[in-house]
Chain A
């Protein structure tokens, strides 16, 4: 018989049979072999896998010092030299869920081995960790233990063997909000006609892209004394100094640029151009103000309509750029602007 795959199981103080809430301050500790629900997991995993050790930590201990506790648990896990890690299931226990998520994330990132946790879909840890690790959806209470163990065992084995992982419905994990391409059996056109006919007839159908909830930002009240305000310019229309010094991509930009316009009165076709690949650049290159209205804003500054123009502008390319990237850029740009006392921003898009 070949070598068995070595697994480590993570449990909290309760499932690890140390004690209840009164033992929630227990620090990380280890037990060789399977403990508590580990016996059920071992039975399901069968002879291919051996749970060589169980690492246990109190929920309060973990959540009060997450970084330190994650490190300590990780080093106990690493000590067993495992090839896969299981955590929980934590059901609807929030602190336990966070510990399971944090540990699985650290195991995958740092040890490079598969880790799977289980928890109730409304466990607060789900939002924090569903993107980075596979979380098997469980019932809210221990009534769902057997079902959870079966799904977690099947999924972690697939990962350990390097087999392709199916959809959330097939595998039982909580949708991660991660889109993956695959080849369907029918063309998009055939699928659309079929879906429409089902919809018209009132038969069940599954949309292939459920509408996301948009992050709507409520507009602030108008700027009180514009004549005293510092205004900044930002554009997603790709206006960059000639030659695109930061090499901002024409689509799916991975970065933004911050460019000095202190003392600059006008942009010219020689000084600036667009890096944007989503529209015909002819008119933007002929007069970059069509996208970045520096000329008009300088006039407003002279006329005293605005206090002053911030001496840098920010530019990126909005074409095909993911919302997640755009949000990261905005966070970084906002830090500069807040630090430098900018009160309002004009954002020009294309």
Chain B
């Protein structure tokens, strides 16, 4: 099973008469983009498309999802299967990536938990998305539709826009092609026996109530943990439907570019044998947590893993799931390393997690999301900056008269991403 990712570098974005890539510049037909993003969704009343480039004095708020434009050029299935294309299994063949740009869905707030991106200034250091050429879609919907419909309308519009832009790369020769080969773990003789066997437990937030993730279009709330070929994530098989706190929500972009999968592939056959990835849900009830963690641990055992990376999404309630996955694996003698962020209070003096186990002795911290940051005003705002005072991490008074922001790091989308996307960490000090 092989997936080739052809990377097409995008170093400029401009509005143009036809959507196409010329050199390293993505030209976008603005009207067609808006039309394609809207699709036939009658719930959407308007879409404004805006461009935001790294270094510009631009603040984008509230951002719901970030999506990378990709196109499937060879192999089965289409981009974002089960949602905007068929349901064939993806992850093989060839996919082209418009690297360096992203589609953002913006617009009236759905939940409180959406994020912001600054394209320059101190806030830009915290988010990879500040380094991307962003195509922001400010989407409005009919009055009176439910929050769930509102979320769905925006989610699908973002996916359609990314798939539309991705098409521009279909016939472009990529600058580099990365090859990801997955060998069936159960077949004898696969992998070097001297290398440690490493699996990945990929927790997907699935609490319902706007905390949902989709696998091939299926809400993962009701699934049992299951095996995926890691390349499936690269083809958009996992899509975020989350309005969980911005800092540690896994956007669709994060799923497409999962850094743990990337890292495990990079070292596969060199100093480890990557035996597989298990997508595991993180639900709200104790019964669900017990069932899912038991089931996922069984799959890890079947894979014969010596060690497991556990990644998280969200905080508080999911801490309990993560600790359960960790403790049960360690009890089976399977080593774990877990990635988590911290909520240690603005002064950093509180304990950081809502649940713990003494067995979690190898944690990677991706930062204290409660730490206070102060951000200067920006010349241009895409969206509505006033919402900062209601967002998770903001508070009344977060917005200064001049437009500066004082809030918790929590408000910046991806700042403490628990797939380990960023460099941020936290330590005693």
Main secondary structure of the interface of A (DSSP, over half): loop
Main secondary structure of the interface of B (DSSP, over half): loop
Contact yes or no, B424 A184, CB < 8 A: yes
Q: Which of B35-43, B153-161, B359-367 contacts A (4 or more CB under 8 A)?
A: B359-367
The interface residues of chain A lying within 8 Å CB-to-CB of B196 are 197, 200-201
Q: Which residues of chain B from 329 to 376 have a CB within 8 Å of any chain A CB?
A: 335-340, 342-353, 356-358, 360-371
For B308, the closest partner residue in chain A by CB is A196
The interface residues of chain B lying within 8 Å CB-to-CB of A205 are 362
- Complex Cα distance, B309 from A325, in Å, reads 32
Q: Which of A6-14, A95-103, A304-312, A316-324 contacts B (4 or more CB under 8 A)?
A: A316-324
Contact yes or no, A197 B263, CB < 8 A: no
Q: Which of A112-120, A154-162, A172-180, A218-226 contacts B (4 or more CB under 8 A)?
A: A172-180
The interface residues of chain B lying within 8 Å CB-to-CB of A212 are 351-353, 356
- State whether A247 and B396 are in contact (beta carbons under 8 Å apart), knowing that A188-B366, A252-B370, A324-B350 are contacts in the complex: yes
Chain A residues with a Cβ closer than 8 Å to the other chain, count: 57
For B309, the closest partner residue in chain A by CB is A192
- Nearest CB of A to B261, in Å: 9
The interface residues of chain B lying within 8 Å CB-to-CB of A250 are 112, 390-392, 394
- State whether A278 and B392 are in contact (beta carbons under 8 Å apart), knowing that A320-B315, A320-B370, A325-B350 are contacts in the complex: yes
- Nearest CB of B to A203, in Å: 12
Contact yes or no, A280 B342, CB < 8 A: no
The interface residues of chain B lying within 8 Å CB-to-CB of A251 are 112-113, 245, 392-393, 408, 410
A209: which of B198, B365, B369, B370 is its contact (CB, 8 Å)? B365
- State whether A277 and B112 are in contact (beta carbons under 8 Å apart), knowing that A177-B428, A192-B364, A197-B196 are contacts in the complex: yes
Q: Which of B44-52, B88-96, B413-421 contacts A (4 or more CB under 8 A)?
A: B413-421
Contact yes or no, A278 B420, CB < 8 A: no
The interface residues of chain A lying within 8 Å CB-to-CB of B18 are none
Q: Which residues of chain A from 271 to 291 have a CB within 8 Å of any chain B CB?
A: 277-283
Q: Is A208 an interface residue (CB 8 A)?
A: yes
The interface residues of chain A lying within 8 Å CB-to-CB of B349 are 131, 176-179, 322, 324
- Complex Cα distance, B263 from A252, in Å, reads 33
- State whether A192 and B420 are in contact (beta carbons under 8 Å apart), knowing that A177-B349, A251-B245 are contacts in the complex: yes
- Complex Cα distance, B389 from A277, in Å, reads 12
- Complex Cα distance, B393 from A249, in Å, reads 8
- Nearest CB of A to B387, in Å: 11
Q: Is B409 an interface residue (CB 8 A)?
A: yes
A188: which of B208, B348, B422 is its contact (CB, 8 Å)? B422
The interface residues of chain B lying within 8 Å CB-to-CB of A182 are 424-427, 429
The interface residues of chain A lying within 8 Å CB-to-CB of B357 are 211
A200: which of B306, B420, B422 is its contact (CB, 8 Å)? B306
Contact yes or no, B419 A189, CB < 8 A: yes
Interface magnitude class on chain B:
35 or more
- State whether A280 and B211 are in contact (beta carbons under 8 Å apart), knowing that A180-B429, A184-B425, A211-B357 are contacts in the complex: yes
For A215, the closest partner residue in chain B by CB is B351
Q: Is A186 an interface residue (CB 8 A)?
A: yes
B111: which of A166, A197, A211, A280 is its contact (CB, 8 Å)? A280
- Nearest CB of B to A268, in Å: 20
Contact yes or no, A184 B423, CB < 8 A: yes
- State whether A195 and B393 are in contact (beta carbons under 8 Å apart), knowing that A185-B423, A279-B211, A280-B210 are contacts in the complex: no
Q: Is B75 an interface residue (CB 8 A)?
A: no
Contact yes or no, B420 A189, CB < 8 A: yes
The interface residues of chain A lying within 8 Å CB-to-CB of B306 are 200
- Nearest CB of A to B193, in Å: 14
- Complex Cα distance, B420 from A308, in Å, reads 51
Contact yes or no, B113 A278, CB < 8 A: yes
Contact yes or no, A191 B408, CB < 8 A: no
- Nearest CB of B to A263, in Å: 31
- Nearest CB of A to B93, in Å: 25
The interface residues of chain A lying within 8 Å CB-to-CB of B336 are 196
For B209, the closest partner residue in chain A by CB is A280
- Complex Cα distance, B19 from A329, in Å, reads 56
Binary per-residue interface labels of chain A (130-157) against chain B in the complex, 1 for a CB within 8 Å, 0 otherwise: 0100000000000000000000000000
- State whether A193 and B260 are in contact (beta carbons under 8 Å apart), knowing that A178-B429, A320-B316 are contacts in the complex: yes
The interface residues of chain B lying within 8 Å CB-to-CB of A191 are 364, 420, 425
The interface residues of chain A lying within 8 Å CB-to-CB of B76 are none
Contact yes or no, B423 A187, CB < 8 A: yes
- Complex Cα distance, B336 from A192, in Å, reads 9
Binary per-residue interface labels of chain B (181-196) against chain A in the complex, 1 for a CB within 8 Å, 0 otherwise: 0000000000000001
Contact yes or no, A211 B358, CB < 8 A: yes
The interface residues of chain B lying within 8 Å CB-to-CB of A180 are 348, 368, 371, 426-429
Q: Is A190 an interface residue (CB 8 A)?
A: yes
Q: Is A227 an interface residue (CB 8 A)?
A: no
For B147, the closest partner residue in chain A by CB is A282
The interface residues of chain A lying within 8 Å CB-to-CB of B358 are 211
Q: Which of B1-9, B264-272, B290-298 contacts A (4 or more CB under 8 A)?
A: B264-272
The interface residues of chain A lying within 8 Å CB-to-CB of B17 are none
- Nearest CB of B to A6, in Å: 27
Can you list 28 residue pairs at the A/B interface with Cβ under 8 Å? A166-B429, A179-B342, A179-B352, A180-B428, A182-B429, A187-B421, A188-B366, A188-B419, A188-B421, A191-B420, A192-B337, A193-B272, A195-B364, A196-B307, A197-B198, A197-B267, A209-B365, A209-B426, A211-B356, A212-B352, A212-B356, A278-B316, A280-B211, A281-B111, A318-B316, A322-B344, A322-B345, A322-B349
Closest 10 CB pairs of A and B: A188-B420, A189-B420, A322-B345, A280-B209, A277-B112, A322-B350, A180-B429, A251-B392, A189-B259, A196-B337
12 additional A-B residue pairs with CB within 8 Å, beyond A189-B262, A277-B112 = A176-B349, A182-B429, A191-B420, A193-B337, A196-B336, A199-B335, A200-B198, A200-B306, A207-B361, A250-B392, A320-B343, A325-B350
Q: Which B residues are closer than 8 A to A by beta carbons? A: 111-113, 125, 146-148, 196, 198, 207-211, 243-245, 259-260, 262-264, 267, 271-272, 306-309, 315-316, 335-340, 342-353, 356-358, 360-371, 390-396, 408-410, 417-429
